[in-house]
Amino acid sequence: MRADVSQAAVLAVTASGLLFAQDTTPAIRVDVSLVNVAFAARDARGQIVTDLTRDEIEVFEDGVVQPVRFFSQSSDLPLRFALIVDVSDSQSSFNRKHRLDVETFAKSALGPADKALLVCFGNQILSGSDFTSSSRDLLRGLDTIVKSHSALYPDVTPNGIRNHGTAFFDAVYQTARTKMMEPGARKALVVFSDGEDNSSAYDIIEAIEAAQAADAPVYTVHYSDTTHISPHTRQRYGKIEMSRLAEETGGIAYDSTTNVAKALAEVSSELRSLYELGYSPTNAARDGSYRKIELRSKRPGIVIRARRGYYSR
Amino acid sequence: MHPAAILLAASLAFAQNPVPPSIKVDVTLVNVAFTARDSRGRLVTDLTRDEIEVLEDGVVQPIQFFGRSADLPLEFAILLDMSGSQERFNHEHHEDLAAFAKEALTAGDKALLVCFANRMRIATDFTSSAADLLIGLDRYGKNKTRTNLIELEPDDTRSGGTALFDAIYYTASLKMMEPGARKALVVFSDGEDNSSARDVIEAIEAAQSADALIYTVRFTEFRHGLPTARNRYGVTEMNRLAADTGGLAFDAARTDVGAALSLVSAELRSLYEIGFATTNPGHDGAFRKLKLRSKRPGVTIRARSGYYAR
């Protein structure tokens, strides 16, 4: 749960010490913790806005205006995706659709310089493919796992027991923490599931925290059996959890009844148009507390989406 | 919390005046109950208004009232997890309820008993009688069909065993919203929810809205002596419920439950109450972080972590 201040830049300026080896002048240490926030901007009609300037954005942390240290928008940063696919029993009727989605994703969202990894989960968390640009690798990984499971991520508990079928939070948490913490790329998680977790060690807040710490928005595609007249309690729960994950991390929650191919293409173009800004928080304490982040645009009609906070660890 | 939106419509009707002047003031008053302890863990009972600072989203708030009275009646909701996973603790639950009645409930207080598995039933509605609580639990245990017990928010689509978050959510929002008493939920469970429609965040929100503190007593069943993933999850959830509402989390395996409950009772009787007119009166539904600070050194304040501006 470290590095919630994503890519905390610790600059140790030891110039005097290096240059004058004989000198007893104490080294000057400057500890600057930068908080980076990637954000999407859309106008009142939902169109992506690409010409915002630094002066048009205000950043608040816990209601206090923050000094923006850098601001940029470049459309040619490579993307790093984590595709997280629920292969638990409750989703078995969607296995074919999931395969189709992964295929569509590779075709419509993955650019030549982009890479994606594939994680499948039931009550174990399995690696289908590490980062690759090849849609074949991704599909082969998925097919292999659907046929025969083998665990990848060690369980978080001492003896590694997970009962029941769906370790949704653990899958998001472990993937964000072990695969998405590298700086220098634009990252996103795309999750296909019903959200009906019943076997994780981590909870919704820890899953959100891990994605926020990686500054990786979570895009969710909710698959649920809709043969019942009214959704049962667990279906409502799953839907809430998937929406929360998206909202709190700056992503979008989709339902499988929408056009998934179109949604995935939208995700890709949105990620390519993200702005990045960095600020040094006025509250520099590393007290582990949650800090609310709010970005406001001074230009009227602009809607900003970004992660809603981070934990100052 | 639903900030008590107080609409003061002062129509001063002067009989002779054809157009009575009418003043309307819309004030959003937020109430927060808090406990104060010194560095050695003892309750501090002599804090003054000037020693406390309230921050909402980092902005200092104007305190409208500040009080502490030791004789306010307490209103408890006791939630007992009667799901299969807690079966081996049923006997202890009976003892704990008896301990609660003995250690925590005093004259003037009221308590409600909710037993839950994947349904939530009122075993005893609000009562001042310790005997009624125990009779309610016995009745729940003996009548397997339980058709004579009132259900909180019946929902036939709930499967799985443990609807902890739903139990807290509906108890707080249906039974604890009346102002005028000091309110607390005391929850006995393993925290391993697997059948609720509501999640932990909504359960916390409902308790925060009622300005009710949640005290949790956790009974974890370790298989083969080692914690499973789900055990860990249950620990996290029980701790969160308490921490975000200003209550305390106890581990039944390491605590004298009777002593813990008498501590809870003493703590609730020494609570301070503070009210402020928020500087951000918008009802945007957003979570507002609350932080209470004591200017007196060494004093630790515990209160709910925030509220939703609905």
pLDDT grade for B225, boundaries at 50, 70 and 90: confident
Q: Which of B59, B197, B289 sits opposite A233 (nearest CB)?
A: B197
| Mean pLDDT value across residues A144-149 | 80
Question: Measuring CA to CA, which residue among A293, A278, A291, A290 is closest to residue A8?
Answer: A278
Round the CA-based radius of gyration of chain A to a whole number and report it: 21
Determine, for residues A163 and B159 on separate chains, whether the beta-carbon distance falls below 8 Å.
Answer: no
Would you tell me which residues 12-51 of chain A have a C-beta closer than 8 angstroms to some C-beta of chain B? none
Residue A9 predicted with pLDDT over 80: no
pLDDT grade for B10, boundaries at 50, 70 and 90: very low
**CA gap A292, B13 in Å, rounded:** 47
Least confident of A101-110, B15-24, B44-53: B15-24
Do the beta carbons of residue A115 and residue A131 sit within 8 Å?
yes
**CA gap B156, B97 in Å, rounded:** 29
pLDDT digits (tens, 9 = 90+) for A152-195: 666 655 556 676 689 999 999 999 999 999 877 899 999 999 99
Determine, for residues B287 and A292 on separate chains, whether the beta-carbon distance falls below 8 Å.
Answer: yes
| Mean pLDDT value across residues B220-241 | 89
Would you tell me which residues 52-81 of chain B have a C-beta closer than 8 angstroms to some C-beta of chain A? 56-59
Residue found under tokens 């638990």? A88
- A241 part of contact set with chain B, CB < 8 Å: yes
H or E element: which one contains B261?
Answer: helix B257-269
End-to-end CA distance of chain A: 7
- A64 part of contact set with chain B, CB < 8 Å: yes
pLDDT at A82: 96
Residue B91 predicted with pLDDT over 90: no
pLDDT at B1: 36
| Mean pLDDT value across residues A272-282 | 93
Contacts of A191 by beta carbon, 8 Å cutoff, 6+ apart: A84, A86, A168, A171, A172, A218, A219, A220, A221, A242, A245
Query: Rounded to an integer, what is the distance from CA A35 to the centroid of its chain?
Result: 16
pLDDT at A92: 82
Determine, for residues B231 and A157 on separate chains, whether the beta-carbon distance falls below 8 Å.
Answer: yes
Q: Which of B57, B160, B240 sits opposite A62 (nearest CB)?
A: B57
pLDDT at B239: 97
pLDDT digits (tens, 9 = 90+) for A33-79: 789 999 999 999 999 999 999 999 999 998 889 999 999 987 778 89
- B287 part of contact set with chain A, CB < 8 Å: yes
More confident residue, A30 or A54: A54
- Beta-carbon contacts below 8 Å between A and B: 100
Residue A230 predicted with pLDDT over 60: yes
| Buried-state track B173-203, b at ≥16 Cβ within 10 A, e below 16 | bebbeeeebbbbbbbbbbbbbbbbbbbbbbb
**CA gap B140, B113 in Å, rounded:** 10
Do the beta carbons of residue A88 and residue A80 sit within 8 Å?
no
Provide the CATH topology of domain B74-269: Rossmann fold (3.40.50)
Domain B4-70+270-308, CATH number (from 1.10.3470, 3.90.1690, 2.30.30, 2.60.40): 2.60.40
Burial of B291 (0-12, 13-18, 19+ CB in 10 A): middle
Mutation for testing the B interface, residue in A159, A233, A310 having most B CBs under 10 Å = A233
pLDDT grade for B231, boundaries at 50, 70 and 90: very high
Interface predicted TM-score (ipTM): 0.82
pLDDT at B57: 87
pLDDT at A153: 66
Round the CA-based radius of gyration of chain B to a whole number and report it: 21
Determine phi and psi for B283, rounding to 5 degrees.
-105, 65
Tokens of A187: 């990252």
- B221 part of contact set with chain A, CB < 8 Å: no
pLDDT at B15: 37
Which residue spans of chain B are classified as CATH 2.60.40? 4-70+270-308
Tokens of A241: 């959890």
| Mean pLDDT value across residues B83-95 | 80
pLDDT grade for B157, boundaries at 50, 70 and 90: confident
**Residues paired with residue A248 on neighbouring β-strands, in sequence order:** none
pLDDT averaged over every residue in chain A? 84
In the DSSP assignment, the letter for residue A116 is E
- B296 part of contact set with chain A, CB < 8 Å: no
| Buried-state track A99-119, b at ≥16 Cβ within 10 A, e below 16 | bebbebbbebbbeeebbbbbb
Contacts of A224 by beta carbon, 8 Å cutoff, 6+ apart: A194, A231, A235, A238, A239, A256
**Residues paired with residue A297 on neighbouring β-strands, in sequence order:** A57
Do the beta carbons of residue B218 and residue B251 sit within 8 Å?
yes
Mutation for testing the B interface, residue in A123, A234, A239 having most B CBs under 10 Å = A234
Strands of B182-189's sheet, edge to edge?
Answer: B150-151, B120-127, B110-116, B74-81, B182-189, B212-218, B249-251
Determine, for residues B229 and A63 on separate chains, whether the beta-carbon distance falls below 8 Å.
Answer: no
pLDDT grade for B227, boundaries at 50, 70 and 90: confident
**CA gap A197, B193 in Å, rounded:** 10
In chain A the domains, ranked by start, together with CATH numbers, are 15-74+274-311 (no CATH), 79-272 (3.40.50.410)
**CA gap B124, B122 in Å, rounded:** 5
| Mean pLDDT value across residues B146-155 | 83
More confident residue, A297 or A88: A297
pLDDT at B165: 98
pLDDT grade for A149, boundaries at 50, 70 and 90: low
pLDDT at A62: 87
pLDDT at B286: 84
Which residue spans of chain B are classified as CATH 3.40.50.410? 74-269
